[in-house]
Amino acid sequence: MNLDNLVAIDVHTHAWKSALRVGDQPTESQQAMGSYFRYTPQHQTVPEMAEMYRKLKMAFVVFTVDGEKGASRGLTNEEIAELAHKNADVAIPFASVNPHRGAEGVKEARRLIKDYGVRGFKFHPSVQEFYPNDRLAYPLYEAIAEAGLPALFHTGQTGVGAQTPGGGGIRLKYSHPMLLDDVAADFPDMPLILAHPSFPWQEEALSVATHKPQVYIDLSGWSPKYFPPILVQYANTLLKDRILFGSDYPVIAPERWVAEFDKLPIKPEVRPLIMKQNAARLLKL
pLDDT by residue for the chain (285 residues), tens only, comes to: 999 999 999 999 999 888 554 455 555 555 555 555 555 556 689 999 999 999 999 999 999 999 854 433 568 999 999 999 999 999 999 999 999 999 999 999 999 999 999 999 999 999 999 999 999 999 999 999 999 999 999 999 887 866 678 888 889 999 999 999 999 999 999 999 999 999 999 999 999 999 999 999 999 999 999 999 999 999 999 999 999 999 999 999 999 999 999 999 999 999 999 999 999 999 999
Spatial contact of 213 and 185, defined as CB atoms under 8 Å apart? no
- pLDDT at site 71: 37
> What's the per-residue H, E or C state across the chain?
CCHHHCCEEEEEEECCCCCCCCCCCCCHHHHHHHHHHCCCCCCCCHHHHHHHHHHHCEEEEEECCCCCCCCCCCCCHHHHHHHHHHCCCCEEECECCCHHHHHHHHHHHHHHHHHHCCCCEEECHHHHCCCCCCHHHHHHHHHHHHCCCCEEEECCCCCCCCCCHHHHHCCHHHHCCCHHHHHHHHCCCCCEEEECCCCCCHHHHHHHHHHCCCEEEECCCCCHHHCCHHHHHHHHCCCCCCEECCCCECCCCHHHHHHHHCCCCCCCCCHHHHHHHHHHHHCCC
Q: Which CATH architecture has domain 3-282?
A: Alpha-Beta Barrel (3.20)
Neighbours of 7 (CB within 10 A): 12
- pLDDT at site 17: 81
- pLDDT at site 39: 58
Spatial contact of 140 and 105, defined as CB atoms under 8 Å apart? yes
- Beta-carbon contacts of 174 under 8 Å, excluding residues fewer than 6 positions away, are 125, 126, 128, 129, 130, 131, 132
Q: Report which of 194, 267, 271, 196 is spatially closest to residue 226, judged by C-alpha positions.
A: 196
- pLDDT at site 193: 98
- pLDDT at site 26: 56
Spatial contact of 81 and 112, defined as CB atoms under 8 Å apart? yes
* Single-letter code of the amino acid located at 258: V
Spatial contact of 77 and 116, defined as CB atoms under 8 Å apart? yes
Q: Rounded CA gap, 7 and 30, in Å?
A: 29
Residues in the chain: 285
Count the alpha carbons within 13 Å of 34 in the hemisphere toward its beta carbon: 13
